[in-house]
C-alpha cells in the first residue's frame, strides 16, 4: 500500500479510484488464505465496495469530499461500530448487545473519508504484548515469511494488516505498548499519543489511567495525519524538525538491559547515523525506571484497573477466558485499595522527576522492544510466555506510566528481522514529537549494511532469545 499523502494525491487526480484501493485490499486478504481469518475478526467487504463506488461517483461529479475520501483502513476489535458486537478478541462478550453508535475515533475516521474494511484480531481484552489469541488464532508476522513468528500485541491484526499491504493504516490502542510492540515486530510505524489526546469512549477498556488510542501505518507522516484526524484536526502532516541540533537523551539504565544482540547492534548503528547527521546524542540515566518492577508488582495500575472492570465477568464467564489472560487478571485480585491509591501517587512523583530529567532534551531514545519477534513455538509454556511478555512490555510500558507520547520507527538492516527505534516526548507535546520523528525518519530507516563497529555501550549487552533452527507448524501449538 502507498502512503496517505500519495494516495490522496492520486485519488484527487483520478489516477486511481477508491474502488481500486478497496478491491486491492480485499484481494490481498483473500490471497492470504488461512491467514485472513487470523488477521480479521470480521470483514465488511460489501459495504466497503459500495462506499468506494459512491466516493468515486461523487469525485467524478466534482463534489467536495473529505481529505481522505475512499482510502481503506482497519479497526481493532475493541472499538464500537454501530450495529456490531464489540468482542475485544474474546468469547466472553459474545452475548453483549450490538453497539448503538461508532466510537468517536471510528466516527472521526469515517468523517475524514476513510472506509473501514474490517475488524482486526487482537490479544484477548488487550492484555498481553505477544499478539497471541487462544480463541481465534494468531496471525503470523509478515516480516518473517516462511516462519511463524508472533506479530506482537495487543494490536496484532492491526499491525499485520498494514505490514501485509491490506490497508495503508490501522486504528489501534496502546496501554503498555500495544501499538508500538507490533509495529516494531512487523516493521511499520506505531504511535502512542498522550492518553487524553484522542477520545477513548466507545472502547473496551483495559486501564482507564493508561489506555490511549493511536494509529499504525507505514510512515511517520501517515501516523501524523491520522493523529490529526483522530484528535479533531483536518489531517495535517507534521513539519519535519531539522536533524542538526536536535538533542536526544539515550537512556543507559533499565531499557538497555537484556537486549538481544541484534536489537542492540541495530539501535547502536542508528545512533551513530543520527550523530553523524548532527543530532546531539546525550547519555542519560533515569533511576526512576529501575523502580518499575517494584511499582508493577501484582500487576501495577493496569492489573488493578483491569481486574475491577472484569471482576463480575470473571465470576459469570470465567471459563471462557484464555487461561493466560485470566491468570494475569486474577493476579491483581488481592491488591488492597490503599496500595492502589499509593501507586497512583507514586506515579505522579515518577512523572515529575522524569520530566525534570528530560529538561533541555527534544526526546528520549531507546529500543522499542528488547528482543526480535520470537517464534510462536517458543511460547510453549505459560512460564515462557510470561517471560517473553515481560520483555516485550519492558520499554514501551514506560511511556504509558509517564503518560507521554511515543513512536516506534523501524531501524533494522535490509532483509533482517524488524527492530524498532522508539522516541518518547513530553505529555501533551504530541505534535512536537511527531515533528522530531519526521525529521529523523529517513536517518533511522536507512539500511544498515555494516553493524557492530563503533557502537555505544548497547553492543556489549547480553543476547536475548535463542532462535529455533527449523521451521515450525501451527498444529498443536499453544495459541
Task: Report the catalytic residues.
Answer: 76, 154, 178
95's grid cell:
452475548
Q: Which residues, including other chains, have CB under 8 Å from residue 302's CB and lie 6 or more apart?
A: 127, 175, 176, 206, 207, 210, 296
- Alpha carbons within 13 angstroms on the beta-carbon side of residue 227 total 32
- In eight-state DSSP terms, residue 376 is G
Closest CA to 272 of 451, 410, 132, 61: 451
What stretches of 91-139 adopt beta strand conformation (E)? 115-120
Q: Which residues, including other chains, have CB under 8 Å from residue 23's CB and lie 6 or more apart?
A: 49, 52
Helix (H, G, I), strand (E, B) or coil at 330: helix
Q: Omega before 154 cis (within 30°)?
A: yes
- Under a CB-based contact definition with an 8 Å cutoff, are residues 455 and 425 in contact? no
Helix axes 323-330 and 382-402, enclosed angle (nearest 10)? 50
Number of neighbouring beta carbons within 10 Å of residue 262 = 18
- Under a CB-based contact definition with an 8 Å cutoff, are residues 187 and 410 in contact? yes
For 18-57, b/e burial (b = at least 16 CB within 10 A) is bbebbbbbbebbeebeebbbbbbbebbeeebbebbeebbe
Strand pairing report for 280-284 and 247-251:
parallel
Closest CA to 45 of 99, 119, 122, 139: 119
- Under a CB-based contact definition with an 8 Å cutoff, are residues 216 and 183 in contact? yes
Q: Which residues, including other chains, have CB under 8 Å from residue 205's CB and lie 6 or more apart?
A: 211, 305, 309
Residue with cell 483522530: 230
Could you give the dihedral angle defined by the CA atoms of residues 183, 186, 188 and 194, in that order, rounded to the nearest 10 degrees?
0
Amino acid at each position: 500500500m502507498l502512503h496517505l499523502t500519495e494516495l490522496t494525491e492520486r485519488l484527487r487526480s483520478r489516477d486511481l479510484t477508491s474502488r481500486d484501493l478497496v478491491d486491492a485490499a480485499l484481494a490481498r486478504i483473500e490471497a492470504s488464505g488461512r491467514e485472513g481469518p487470523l488477521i480479521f475478526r470480521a470483514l465488511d467487504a460489501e459495504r466497503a465496495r459500495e462506499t468506494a463506488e459512491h466516493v468515486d461517483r461523487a469525485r467524478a461529479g466534482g463534489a467536495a469530499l473529505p481529505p481522505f475520501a475512499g482510502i481503506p483502513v482497519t479497526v481493532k476489535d475493541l472499538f464500537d461500530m454501530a450495529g456490531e458486537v464489540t468482542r475485544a478478541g474474546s468469547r466472553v462478550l459474545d452475548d453483549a448487545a450490538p453497539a448503538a453508535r461508532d466510537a468517536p475515533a471510528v466516527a472521526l475516521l469515517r468523517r475524514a473519508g476513510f472506509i473501514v474494511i474490517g475488524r482486526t484480531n487482537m490479544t484477548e481484552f488487550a492484555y498481553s504484548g505477544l499478539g497471541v489469541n487462544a480463541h481465534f488464532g494468531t496471525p503470523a508476522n509478515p516480516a518473517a515469511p516462511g516462519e511463524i513468528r508472533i506479530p506482537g500485541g495487543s494490536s496484532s491484526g492491526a499491525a499485520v494488516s498494514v505490514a501485509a499491504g491490506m490497508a495503508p493504516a490501522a486504528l489501534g490502542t496502546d496501554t503498555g505498548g500495544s501499538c508500538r510492540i507490533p509495529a516494531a515486530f512487523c516493521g511499520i510505524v506505531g504511535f502512542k499519543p498522550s492518553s487524553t489526546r484522542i477520545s477513548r469512549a466507545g472502547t473496551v477498556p483495559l486501564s482507564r489511567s493508561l489506555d490511549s488510542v493511536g494509529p499504525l501505518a507505514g510512515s511517520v507522516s501517515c501516523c501524523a495525519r491520522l493523529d490529526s484526524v483522530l484528535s479533531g484536526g483536518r489531517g495535517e502532516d507534521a513539519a519535519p524538525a531539522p536533524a542538526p541540533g536536535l538533542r536526544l537523551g539515550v537512556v543507559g539504565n533499565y531499557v538497555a538491559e537484556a537486549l538481544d544482540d541484534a536489537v542492540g547492534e541495530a539501535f547502536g548503528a542508528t545512533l551513530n547515523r543520527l550523530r553523524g547527521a548532527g543530532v546531539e546524542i546525550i547519555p542519560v540515566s533515569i533511576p526512576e525506571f529501575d523502580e518499575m518492577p517494584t511499582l508493577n508488582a501484582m500487576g501495577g495500575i493496569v492489573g488493578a484497573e483491569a481486574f475491577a472492570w472484569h471482576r463480575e465477568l470473571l465470576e459469570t464467564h470465567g471459563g471462557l477466558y484464555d487461561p493466560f489472560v485470566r491468570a494475569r487478571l486474577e493476579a491483581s485480585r488481592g491488591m488492597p485499595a490503599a496500595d492502589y491509591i499509593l501507586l497512583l501517587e507514586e506515579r505522579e512523583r515518577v512523572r515529575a522527576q522524569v520530566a525534570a530529567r528530560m529538561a533541555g532534551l527534544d526526546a528520549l531514545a531507546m529500543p522499542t522492544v528488547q528482543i526480535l519477534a520470537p517464534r510462536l513455538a517458543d511460547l510453549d509454556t505459560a512460564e515462557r510466555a510470561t517471560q517473553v511478555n515481560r520483555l516485550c512490555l519492558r520499554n514501551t510500558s514506560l511511556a504509558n506510566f509517564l503518560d507521554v507520547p511515543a513512536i516506534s520507527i523501524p531501524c533494522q538492516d535490509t532483509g533482517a528481522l524488524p527492530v524498532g527505534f522508539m522516541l518518547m516526548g513530553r505529555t501533551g507535546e504530541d505534535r512536537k514529537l511527531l515533528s522530531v520523528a519526521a525529521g529523523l525518519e529517513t536517518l533511522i530507516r536507512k539500511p544498515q549494511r555494516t553493524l557492530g563497529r563503533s557502537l555505544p555501550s548497547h553492543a556489549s549487552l547480553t543476547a536475548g532469545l535463542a532462535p529455533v533452527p527449523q521451521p515450525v507448524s501451527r498444529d498443536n501449538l499453544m495459541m
